[in-house]
Chain A
């Protein structure tokens, strides 16, 4: 799939430039399900995109599904509760392991053991991440096997409508918002199977996160204290090789080499890339081009540009 990943669009807009760069004509299918109840407040986006837009209303469609199919709604809620619980335990495990890793790093600093100790700590943390990802993936697969969402009549009906709309557009734009809700709605309607190679994707902020291979939640100075990033679950994998980190000024400490280096090494399966307001990069599968303003977080704790082909 081809397309573009963008940073937040509130203070500096780049959607129009990206649509033009992709060179696709016609209306844009818009997904703002991450905005939940405010899904339909999309007037500004139409103006920014400079095209007519058709909002797919995935959040509202999801609410209709849950209201029309109580059995599915019950299973859905039970799964959400289970996921929340597992995420909480994973976070607890992660926090304790991080505490130990930081403690060891401090004590080993300046000694011959330092590099090896940090490597072992990060390996341990990566293992916890991987096990968590495996666990939530298995849970989702079991849930889909049990509920067969794509065969349920109400979802079948919505999918048919979505398929028809998507056949008339060349660009699909996915806004950010609540990434768990957004991902949930995209999966509920089997969205990855509805897109074809004919579609170009524009995804910003949370939208860029859920369309990557792995959704990483992050905020290095939240009010509750521990600012350790965490794996939520697998993303849709529409683009590969980048962990999008939107809004770094608010959420990251890019001037802290230890944090930058550890984040980069922890998710070394991909490039960790910060997207500030209006930043964007074009992609084609696992190849990236351009990169207006984005910053690569490097394993040595520094940040830099020029990471694309």
Chain B
């Protein structure tokens, strides 16, 4: 397997909530157009790590951050945070379509919220193409002008994925997106990932080992705020180099 290019790189990222340090010198190189799973036991800093990448971490009162995040080689601290977020999209743990918007409007929410106007044709085109990408088009074609919250949980989550990729980001962060979904909806979203990685670089936070093994090309293992091991998923699962990774994989904690 040839070495993929790097889309995101973190250098010595530290993060705090008040006095509690939750990330310690995390340096990682995230490969382009691959699925990278972020796994580890609860409270290990997985979610905080992905939230430092798009600047959401600093929106919590008392949160602090140090270190460098490079997006395609560019230091994100020198970029407008709004631009950073246009390049790094995010899908959350619980489906959160905007309740005041229809399915159609939810797909275009990013454009509307950032004040970008689209022609009618262009808007229609984006909605259809994006909903097709997440496999929702045939399911919701008749419900385009109903509230986004009227869909089932799994459909809502795919709508949120559509809303994110409609903005054409380079990277999509998934923060345990299937943890509130049933197995069937989870499977649908997992299948979707292999299509999405053709166009996007994906970071996928999960605390499920099997899920990480199923979906990812690369895996980052976090523990107590440290990045313990990073590598190709097959390699890490078959021959972990760190004792802690081995213990985690064999179910000693988690």
Query: A and B from one assembly?
Result: no
Q: What residues make up the interface of B, taking CB atoms closer than 8 Å to A?
A: none
Q: What residues make up the interface of A, taking CB atoms closer than 8 Å to B?
A: none
